[in-house]
């Protein structure tokens, strides 16, 4: 039975607790928890309704920070190549939901505040700062203090994500040390209390940012996780897809699409001669794109986590296969991965 690394399971724990994973993913997490005290403790911590913000220790995925994420994301040796042109993406995404009526879910500041409170992150209205300072094309944000003086959260709510995209793209207002998060028709901007001067301050900011990202991804953007698995003679492969997507029908009946996805490929050498493997060359292909890693190394358990990549373009679907190709020591094997139901 394949043993998944803690880093992968830790990414899934918040979604597992909320029931936002498939049955197969749930089984994977629960099998891991039986043998791992650290991850079991993390589940207990997340399940504690009284948990305070600084109790969160893990580095949660920044799945909805868009351009800022792409600048900061650690890709390692993984190089992702998009193979679908814009027109193909538009046709594919709209065709995927053909016949479905868009829900046009609108987020209000009140809904956002309540959502954060349910996740033990209290937002208190901040009257000490002027909304005029943060105006975007005439739109002023609601301003909140995060928890116990953990910083400031600006909340902009637009008529739709179409309007949000148009205004935010033109403004280019929020750069470091601001962190922005897209959530349907809303834009959330986290401003740390101060620029970090110590490692402890940097850690606190990272924890707050990661928790905001997790709440936005799971609860405001209805984020999902799909795990694809497969194996060959010598290798086992796992491909994790985290994503959200929304459709919006405007007053003219035109359908608009908003999405984000993050992918994480992982391979494990099944044989016992791990130290003899040396470096491996790895490629993966999906209908939405492809990527490769040259000269990757296995850890002591025989795993190679081949980096994360993310973006707003096309993504694989659950009914599609993913192909891994692994080359090592003059050998080559292919793996066909399928989504776990």
pLDDT number for residue 226 = 95
Average pLDDT over residues 241-253: 87
Q: Please check the confidence at residue 247 and state whether its pLDDT lies above 90.
A: no
pLDDT number for residue 45 = 58
Q: Please check the confidence at residue 217 and state whether its pLDDT lies above 70.
A: yes
pLDDT number for residue 148 = 81
pTM: 0.66
pLDDT in tens, 116-136: 999 999 999 999 999 999 999
Share of the chain above pLDDT 90, in %: 47
pLDDT in tens, 161-193: 889 988 988 877 676 678 999 999 999 999 998
Share of the chain above pLDDT 70, in %: 79
pLDDT number for residue 32 = 85
SS (H, E, C) the chain: CCCCCHHHHHHHHHHHHCCCECHHHHHHHHHHHHHCHHHHHHHHHHHCCCCCHHHCCCCCCCCCCHHHHHHHCCCCCCEEEECCCHHHHHHHHHHHCCCCCCCCCCCCHHHHHHHHHHCCCCEEECCCCCHHHHCECCECCEEEEECCCCCEEEEEECCCHHHHHHHHHHHCCCCCCCEEEEECCEEEEEECCCCCCCHHHHHHHHHHHHHHHHHHHHHHCCCEEEEEEEECCCEEEEEEEEEEEEEEECCCCCEEEEEEEEEEEEEEECCCCHHHCCCEEEEEECCCEEEEEEEECCCCCCEEECCCEEECCCCCCCCCCEEEEEEECCEEEEEEEEECC
Q: pLDDT confidence of 287, banded at 50, 70, 90?
A: confident
pLDDT number for residue 209 = 93
């Amino acid at each position: 039975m394949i043993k998944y690394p803690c880093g992968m399971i830790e990414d899934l724990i918040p979604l597992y607790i909320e029931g936002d994973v498939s049955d197969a993913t749930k089984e994977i997490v629960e099998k891991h928890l039986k043998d791992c005290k650290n991850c079991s403790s993390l589940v207990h911590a997340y399940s504690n309704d009284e948990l305070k913000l600084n109790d969160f220790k893990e580095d949660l995925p920044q799945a909805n920070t868009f351009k800022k994420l792409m600048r900061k994301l650690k890709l390692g040796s993984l190089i992702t190549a998009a193979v679908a042109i814009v027109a193909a993406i538009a046709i594919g995404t709209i065709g995927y939901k053909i016949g479905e009526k868009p829900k046009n879910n609108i987020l209000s500041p009140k809904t956002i505040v309540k959502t954060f409170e349910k996740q033990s992150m209290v937002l208190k209205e901040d009257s000490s700062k002027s909304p005029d300072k943060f105006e975007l094309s005439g739109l002023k944000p609601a301003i909140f203090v995060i928890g116990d003086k953990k910083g400031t959260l600006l909340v902009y709510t637009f008529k739709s994500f179409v309007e949000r995209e148009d205004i935010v793209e033109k403004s280019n207002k929020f750069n470091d040390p601001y962190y922005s998060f897209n959530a349907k028709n809303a834009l959330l901007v986290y401003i740390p209390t101060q620029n970090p001067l110590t490692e402890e301050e940097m850690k606190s900011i990272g924890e707050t940012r990661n928790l905001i990202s997790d709440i936005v991804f799971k609860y405001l953007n209805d984020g999902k996780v799909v795990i694809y698995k497969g194996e060959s003679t010598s290798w086992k492969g796992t491909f994790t897809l985290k994503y959200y997507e929304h459709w919006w029908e405007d007053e003219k009946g035109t359908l608009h699409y908003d999405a984000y996805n993050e992918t994480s490929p992982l391979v494990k050498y099944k044989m016992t001669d791990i130290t003899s493997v040396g470096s491996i060359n790895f490629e993966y292909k999906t209908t939405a794109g492809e990527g490769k890693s040259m000269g990757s190394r296995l850890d002591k358990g025989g795993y190679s986590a081949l980096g994360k990549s993310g973006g707003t373009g096309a993504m694989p679907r659950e009914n599609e296969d993913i192909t891994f190709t692994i080359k090592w020591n003059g050998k080559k094997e292919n793996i066909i991965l399928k989504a776990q139901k």
